[in-house]
Structure 1
Amino acid sequence: MSTIPDAGERVPLACPSCSPIEQTVHEIIKPDGQSTVRCTECGHVHKEAVERPREIQVNVVVSQDGDSLSTTVDAPAEESVEVGDEFIVDTPEALLQVRVTAIETGPEQRVDEARMDEIETVWSRVVDNVTVNVTVHPNDTRRDASRSLKMQVPGDYEFTVGEVESVGSEEFRVEGVHVRDDTGYRFDKLDHDGDVAFAKDVKRVYGRDTTTAAWSAW
């Protein structure tokens, strides 16, 4: 495959007219060794040597709700990836947004960051639509009456400590949220009113049953 972009493609380049240091989006007008390009910010036309980055296929394992599948993605060879990064994987079933959970560079060799051409396998989990495990405690002292629920929600759904959630005909007030290790939260447990976590970051939600709670006028 040619390393020169086709006419009409857009590439990031410095513009000698309006942005000589920071890159702007340029449109390829005439592909060549020295391609003719137009800055989309100011319209300036100039010539630049433009090449596509070398791409390789990277093995990716995608996990979702206890199941996993293996696939490959095309990626720039010199691009780096690290645990916690998110990207799109095109599978026969659907386009999935995934988050990197581990990077394997060799047998039993795992790192937090690596270049694509150094990687043997990227391990990931789906984060665009997720299943969240919920433990609901009763609204009285019966500890043995706690029960487990599952919520199917978008990955960017927000759980807020102190707010009421519903699953079918059941309701519970969020009392705490355990977040996963591959997230950037300061604490692994959120338990103060107003604390917020995205569903894709959640390991488990803990709540207090409000379905049969007695409500006053205030």
Structure 2
Amino acid sequence: MSQRSERVPLPCPSCSPEEGTVHEVLKPGGQTTVRCTECGHVHKEKIEAPEEVTVDVVVSQDGDSDKATLTAVADEEIEAGDEFVVETAEAIQQVRVTDLELGPERRTESAEMREVETVWSRVVDNVGVNVTIHPKEGDGRHEQSRSIKAFLPGDYEFTVGETCEFGDDSFEVDSIQLRDEVADDYRHKKLDHVGDTGFAKDIKRVFGRDTTTSAWSAW
């Protein structure tokens, strides 16, 4: 969420008494001292602080949930997919909005902050990505596919056609299934063309083909 800027639009009595220009806040207070960035004129103005609200935030990470609060300007828009930083009892974390609760059984994906009772979110700076690894093709064995979870920074990139190595696991990425709230930010919800890339924080599951050189084991 945005914080109040140290620059504000105001009429300038020297160069623009009718139209607002960008002013730098020099000294905040009841009578705020500002300087016009167009002509340098310094004057005092009464600037009303915007109404603020504080709402509850539920922070989810790998099946666990924690609580925090968020203070924001009352008429600021918030929607699913927005990211911001919150402080929980455990850590300071980057989270992404997944859902907004306006009241009992009232959910939406977009609203003004004044309407929101609870922001539902998930951690995106460090995430666990589910990976399904299919066995090698044409090796004469009949192993089953298996799943692992890779814990990674949210901005880690998976690319279709590239090989990934996590511990003893090595696989070539076949396709990437994206989360619903970010599907519009990509070409398709499922990425399956060589070169398609997705961030770990946006991914629901990665599908890959085993590339380990040793005997593949379902365990």
TM-score between the two structures when normalised by the length of structure 1: 0.83
Contact 2:21 2:36 in 1 (8 A): no
Q: Equivalent residue of 1:182, what SS? A: helix
Bigger shift: residues 20-29 or 178-187? 20-29
Give the match for residue 146 of structure 1: 145
Distance 1:164 1:64, change over 3 A: same
The one of 58, 62, 66 aligned to 1:65: 62
Give the match for residue 168 of structure 1: 167
Shift of 1:53: 1.6
1:82 aligns with 2:79: yes
Q: How big is each residue's C-alpha offset from its partner over 1:192-216, in whole Å with a ceiling of 9 and x where there is no partner?
A: 0010101100000011111128xxx
Alpha-carbon separation, structure 1, partners of 2:27 and 2:203? 47
Structure 1 consecutive aligned stretches of length 4 or more whose deviation exceeds 3 Å: 14-18, 20-25, 39-44, 141-144
**RMSD of aligned alpha carbons:** 2.6
Give the match for residue 29 of structure 1: 27
2:196 partner letter: D
Bigger shift: residues 45-54 or 70-79? 45-54
Alpha-carbon separation, structure 1, partners of 2:167 and 2:39? 54
1:13 partner letter: P
Give the match for residue 189 of structure 2: 188
Across the two proteins, how many residue pairs are aligned to each other?
204
Bigger shift: residues 201-210 or 41-50? 41-50
1:13 aligns with 2:9: yes
Contact 1:11 1:28 in 2 (8 A): no
TM-score between the two structures when normalised by the length of structure 2: 0.83
Bigger shift: residues 133-142 or 167-176? 133-142
Shift of 1:70: 2.1
Bigger shift: residues 138-147 or 107-116? 138-147
1:212 partner letter: T
2:44 partner letter: K
1:125 partner letter: R
Contact 2:80 2:100 in 1 (8 A): yes
Contact 1:89 1:98 in 2 (8 A): yes
User: Which segments of 5 or more consecutive residues in structure 1 lack a partner in the other structure?
Assistant: 214-218
1:168 partner letter: G
Contact 2:102 2:116 in 1 (8 A): yes
1:113 aligns with 2:110: yes
Shift of 1:24: 4.3
